[in-house]
Amino acid sequence: MEPVSSDLTGKLLIAMPGIGDPRFENAVVFMCAHSDEGAMGLMINKRSEEIAVADVLDQLEIRPSPDMRPLPVHFGGPVEVGRGFVLHSTDYDADHASMSVSHDYAMTASREILRDMALGGGPLERLLCLGYAGWGPGQLEGEISQNGWLSCDADRDIIFATPDAQKWEAALNSLGVSPALLSGDAGRA
């Protein structure tokens, strides 16, 4: 297995056909952290069908104001599905609780950001995710070498403006790849 040496922090992972895990079928994952110790990301294109933002706010005893902008809840990944994460633009920092991912993106997992968003404030661009995708040391590199994932630069429009159902294809198109031409089989020389 050839190691993947590049840091994928701040990039998008695009699930390949045949990834083998239905939870990640056609997934686009924003990578929040990637190092020799493992990786963590948030799926940005799988909207929760079971949980609405009102449910999350109610559980946290946060009352939304009429000024609150619409905020769908996304399935961020299968790890810690009861924990919320907000991927957002860097125009907001909840009492220094935000983790800078790159110059353009931050992640916050605090109650304060949800309170601020419920009041109509918070970051201009944001995605609320429950759970995250996590990989142990070398696990993601192995999946990439087995043709499980492609990676591309993160794009604000794909992350925050593209409809969820179109994000996978938009991410592939950013690489010049047609979804119709993809195969789930890894090539061998």
pTM: 0.90
Please tell me the distance from the alpha carbon of residue 144 to that of residue 15, in angstroms, as a whole number: 9
Model pLDDT, residue 188: 46
Residue ranges in the chain modelled with pLDDT below 50: 1-5, 187-189
Q: In sequence order, what are the beta bridge partners of 89?
A: 105
Model pLDDT, residue 135: 96
Q: At the topology level of CATH, where does 11-181 sit?
A: VC0467-like (3.40.1740)
Name every residue whose Cβ is closer than 8 Å to that of residue 14 and which is 6 or more positions away in sequence: 27, 28, 149, 150, 151, 152, 168, 171, 172, 175
For residue range 68-122, what is the model confidence (pLDDT) as tens digits? 998 999 999 999 998 999 999 998 876 667 888 988 999 999 899 999 999 999 9
Helix, strand, coil percent values for the chain (each to nearest 5): 25, 30, 45
Q: Domain residues of the chain, as ranges? A: 11-181
Model pLDDT, residue 179: 83
Name every residue whose Cβ is closer than 8 Å to that of residue 17 and which is 6 or more positions away in sequence: 182, 183, 184
Model pLDDT, residue 97: 76
Model pLDDT, residue 98: 84
Beta strands in 52-157 (DSSP E): 73-75, 79-89, 99-100, 105-108, 126-135, 149-153
* H-run or E-run covering 120: none
